[in-house]
Each structure stands twice: as structure tokens, then as C-alpha cells.
């Protein structure tokens, strides 16, 4: 997009810029639809996804009527209350512009009112703004907050996820969410080969996450592509000695080579186990009580929220 209103794919209200995101052209729009089926994508762990803001190069469409449209869609008789993921596509739902537009409270409320399970993916501690609402709706529907924490190093975290909060703030958000009973899931993502993948660094990060109350963890490797456009240029300037290694790991593609992912899994598995951050679904204790209907539903939701197991080169846990 070049900022031309003619290229906006929804009813345009106005175009402007905001001081908190001065490089972005913001198109405030009225969206026609919110729910997007991802059932045909075998790599996606959910049935449906929504985005409150849609990016395209140096522009972003802000869907002012997100909650109203979502409520209308969820009232359809055909709606089966499938799990809905927020933040797997588009911009982080709690990114810089959310503080101005406050779209997420309406979206969360709409899903809860329709008895629809939700998974919120974010790299921002702004999610804590809606903590009271999340605590309330989790009694009505299964709710999971999946928070990304790339690493503990501030500079590398900004490079891996430039729009997210500082690592310390993200870990504090994990602690607050855990204390509120929301059982946060943490994604170490994106993991940068040769920069944030040292065993000692991962061990320290997992220890911090476990102490903060994270319930489980997954690891996703850096994917080269539009989202990380310019990464190799940055690597050439800051870490030129790693360029040859990256060419070996990625070749001409977006995904890291399978053998690297296998070796990383072998290193990570004992660390994850040692810190008690294994994914649900493993061996259960012998004294576990029978599950009631609500608990079975919650477990089914937890299964739906597991990371992509179809692409081992990308997501490892």
C-alpha cells in the first residue's frame, strides 16, 4: 500500500497519522466482516481468526466497528462456538494503536457473550489494561493469553519484535496474568539462530518464565519474510560473521532447516521438562479426579491452543 484511500479494502472513514506511530498511514475503516476461517490451513491450531487492525507495508487499516461486526457474525445460527484466535495475523492486537482505539475490550466482550472460546496472542504488556475483563469472562468461556517473549536481551528483543514490550515488562505481565488465574502460555518467538538460542540463555529465560508463573511454553524460530524484512541487512551490519551460517540454515527459503530444529528440540526438551513447562497432554497423576463437562471443554480448548505441530522446522513445542 502507498497510502492511497483507493486501495483500502473496507469503507474508509478517514486517513491520518498518529504521533505514537508516525511512520504509519492509518486508514480508519468500517469492516464488512471479522471472522476468518482458517480450517483449511492444517498448520493453524484454531478454527477461526480475527484481526482488529490489518497492516500492509507502511499502512494499517483500523477496524473501528470490529466489535459490532463480530457480534453480528456470532449471532448467526450457523455459528458453532469454535475457538477464535486474536493476533495470529495482522498487527499485535495490543500494539501501539490499541491504546488509542481500545478495540479489544469490545472484541473480548462480544466473544464471551456468544459463549465463544478465545486465544489472545500478544507481545505487549498492554494486555494488563484489560485484566479485569479477562478475569471476568474466563468464568464464562475458556480464555488463554499467549504472550511472546523473544529473549532477555533488550536490544535483541527489539530486533526480534520491534513493536513489543521490553522483556522485563513481558515477564512481569506473565506474573500478573498467572496471579489472576489466567494460566499464561508463553511463546519464545521469534528465536534468532546463533543469537538467542544458546543453551545457557534459554535455560535462564525458562527459569524466569517458570518463576513468573507461566504454565507452558512453545518455541518458534525466526521466519524470514515480509514480517522481518531487512533482518539479513541488519545481520550483515551488526553480525557479518553470521551471514554464511544463516545462508546455510535458511538457504533461499523462509524457514530454518529441519536438522537445526531437531537439534534445538533435543537441547530444549530437558530444559523445558526441568522447569516444569511441558505442554498439556502428557502423563497425568494417578490421583486425578474425573473431569466434569466444563473441565473437559477447557481441556479440549487447551488442545486446540497447542502450537503448530505440522511444521516442526518452525514451531518446536
Last residue of a domain, one of 60, 88, 121: 121
pLDDT score of 297 more than 50: no
121, 110 in Cβ contact below 8 A? no
307 within a domain of the structure (yes/no): yes
Which pLDDT band, with edges at 50, 70 and 90, does 89 fall under?
A: confident
291 within a domain of the structure (yes/no): no
Judge if 309 and 211 occupy the same domain.
yes
Structural domain that includes position 67 = 1-121
Q: Which of 1-15, 55-69, 103-117, 150-164 has the lowest mean pLDDT?
A: 1-15
Count of domains observed in the chain: 2
Instruction: State the average pLDDT over residues 258-276.
Output: 94
167 within a domain of the structure (yes/no): yes
pLDDT of residue 286: 31
Judge if 175 and 301 occupy the same domain.
yes
Which pLDDT band, with edges at 50, 70 and 90, does 291 fall under?
A: very low
Judge if 146 and 264 occupy the same domain.
yes
Judge if 161 and 300 occupy the same domain.
yes
Cβ-based neighbour number of residue 218 at 10 Å: 21
pLDDT of residue 310: 34
Record the pTM. 0.84
Judge if 157 and 249 occupy the same domain.
yes
133 within a domain of the structure (yes/no): no
Instruction: State the average pLDDT over residues 296-300.
Output: 40
Judge if 101 and 225 occupy the same domain.
no
Instruction: State the average pLDDT over residues 144-168.
Output: 95
pLDDT of residue 207: 98
131, 172 in Cβ contact below 8 A? no
Instruction: State the average pLDDT over residues 193-215.
Output: 97
pLDDT of residue 252: 85
pLDDT score of 45 more than 90: no
Q: Name the average pLDDT for the chain.
A: 85
Which pLDDT band, with edges at 50, 70 and 90, does 88 fall under?
A: confident
277, 177 in Cβ contact below 8 A? no
Distances, alpha carbon 213 to alpha carbons 14, 75, 169, in Å: 43, 36, 14
The CA distance from 206 to 299, in Å, is: 24
130 within a domain of the structure (yes/no): no
Instruction: State the average pLDDT over residues 18-23.
Output: 90
270 within a domain of the structure (yes/no): yes
Judge if 210 and 161 occupy the same domain.
yes
136 within a domain of the structure (yes/no): no
55 within a domain of the structure (yes/no): yes
pLDDT score of 3 more than 70: no
Judge if 107 and 148 occupy the same domain.
no
Amino acid at each position: 500500500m502507498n497510502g492511497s484511500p483507493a486501495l483500502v479494502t473496507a469503507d474508509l472513514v478517514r486517513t491520518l497519522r498518529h504521533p505514537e506511530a508516525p511512520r504509519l498511514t492509518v486508514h480508519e475503516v468500517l469492516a464488512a466482516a471479522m471472522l476468518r476461517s482458517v480450517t483449511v490451513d492444517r498448520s493453524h491450531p484454531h478454527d477461526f481468526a480475527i484481526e482488529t487492525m490489518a497492516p500492509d507495508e507502511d499502512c494499517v487499516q483500523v477496524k473501528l466497528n470490529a466489535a459490532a461486526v463480530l457480534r453480528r457474525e456470532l449471532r448467526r445460527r450457523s455459528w458453532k462456538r469454535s475457538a477464535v484466535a486474536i493476533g495470529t495475523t495482522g498487527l499485535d492486537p495490543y500494539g501501539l494503536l490499541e491504546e488509542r482505539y481500545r478495540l479489544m475490550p469490545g472484541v473480548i466482550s462480544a466473544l464471551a457473550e456468544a459463549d465463544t472460546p478465545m486465544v489472545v496472542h500478544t507481545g505487549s504488556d498492554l494486555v494488563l489494561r484489560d485484566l479485569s475483563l479477562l478475569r471476568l469472562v474466563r468464568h464464562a468461556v475458556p480464555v488463554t493469553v499467549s504472550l511472546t517473549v523473544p529473549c532477555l536481551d533488550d536490544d535483541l528483543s527489539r530486533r526480534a519484535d520491534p513493536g513489543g514490550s521490553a522483556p522485563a515488562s513481558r515477564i512481569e505481565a506473565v506474573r500478573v496474568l498467572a496471579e489472576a488465574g489466567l494460566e499464561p502460555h508463553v511463546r519464545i518467538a521469534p528465536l534468532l539462530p546463533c543469537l538467542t538460542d544458546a543453551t545457557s540463555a534459554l535455560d535462564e529465560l525458562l527459569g524466569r518464565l517458570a518463576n513468573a508463573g507461566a504454565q507452558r511454553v512453545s518455541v518458534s524460530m525466526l521466519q524470514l519474510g515480509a514480517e522481518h524484512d531487512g533482518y539479513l541487512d541488519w545481520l550483515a551490519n551488526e553480525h557479518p560473521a553470521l551471514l554464511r551460517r544463516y545462508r546455510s540454515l535458511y538457504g533461499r527459503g523462509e524457514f530454518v532447516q529441519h536438522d537445526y530444529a531437531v537439534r534445538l528440540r533435543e537441547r530444549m526438551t530437558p530444559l523445558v521438562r526441568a522447569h516444569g513447562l511441558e505442554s498439556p497432554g502428557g502423563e497425568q497423576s494417578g490421583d486425578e479426579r474425573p473431569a466434569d463437562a466444563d473441565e473437559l471443554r477447557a481441556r479440549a480448548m487447551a488442545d486446540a491452543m497447542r502450537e503448530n505441530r505440522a511444521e516442526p522446522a518452525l514451531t518446536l513445542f
